Amino acid sequence: MMKLLLSTHPDIQITEPIVTAAARNWENGKEVMDLLLSTHPDIQITEPILTAAAENGKEVMELLLSTHPDIRITEPIVTAAAENDYCGKEVMELLLSTHPDIQITEPIVTAAAGNRKEVIKLLLSTHPDIQITEPIVTAAARNWENGQEVMELLLSTHPDIQITEPIVMAAAGNRKEVMKLLLSTHPDIQITEPIVTAAARNWENGKQVMELLLSTHPDIQITEPIVTAAARNWENGKEVMDLLL
């Protein structure tokens, strides 16, 4: 289709949104981008275009890096690769191999902590001095699909991580496996009202997380904010309320 349009309308202006759409094209991005670059070799490859490519399979990014070797790889581009839950590891490997001096910042590692474990595992192996901060561990605790695996990795590589209230609150809003892991590795965690409230508010796994908290900390004080959160839980509020009452 694009080839037909360019042949019948050779004066089409190829704008940034057009090239960005090609970079984001999951099925045919490389082919469309190849066509655009061959017919319009003076296209300026901007940060939004590269960010879209970083969210796609590695082939589009590989093409752009080969045709524009002087491209500057910025934090938003690397963050998009870290968030890419289909091809994040492959795109990140490509970026690190072509730009080994990329600075791996907290937002990048935080994005990786919310993705599959392979991405953050790659970053930890190439940058062993990464500082694992509270926002990074909180993102892992909140990671719905891969939280347990990412948290296990972080705790094994950084056993001195401080497990703070925001981290445990994030875990309380997730599946019970993350909370179970934190309670087993840090049995002295203080279970505060905000943590129990987050569990009561957990619309999908509130019952399981609350059961776990009550079994490990039977002296939890059930306060009005906790019961109110359970009463507002539209998915499994009744089950949580039954546990509390």
Instruction: Report the pLDDT value the prediction gives residue 6, as an integer from 0 to 100.
Output: 53
Residue 117 reports pLDDT greater than 50: yes
Q: Do residues 109 and 136 make contact, with C-beta atoms less than 8 angstroms apart?
A: yes
pLDDT digits (tens, 9 = 90+) for 127-183: 999 999 999 999 999 999 999 999 999 999 999 999 999 999 999 999 999 999 999
End-to-end CA distance of the chain: 63
Number of C-beta neighbours around residue 183 at 10 A? 21
Angle at the Cα of 146 from the Cα atoms of 27 and 191, rounded to 5 degrees: 150
What is each CA distance from 50 to 64, 98, 117, 141, in whole angstroms?
Answer: 8, 14, 23, 29
What pTM was computed for the model?
Answer: 0.93
Give the pLDDT band of residue 11 (cuts 50, 70, 90): low
Q: In angstroms, how far apart are the furthest CA atoms of the chain?
A: 75
Number of C-beta neighbours around residue 11 at 10 A? 5
- Across all residues in the chain, what is the average pLDDT? 95
Residue 1 reports pLDDT greater than 80: no
pLDDT digits (tens, 9 = 90+) for 16-68: 999 999 999 999 999 999 999 999 999 999 999 999 999 999 999 999 999 99
Instruction: Report the pLDDT value the prediction gives residue 5, as an integer from 0 to 100.
Output: 47
Instruction: Report the pLDDT value the prediction gives residue 175, as an integer from 0 to 100.
Output: 97
Give the pLDDT band of residue 3 (cuts 50, 70, 90): low
* Tokens matching residue 2: 């694009």
Instruction: Report the pLDDT value the prediction gives residue 12, as an integer from 0 to 100.
Output: 76
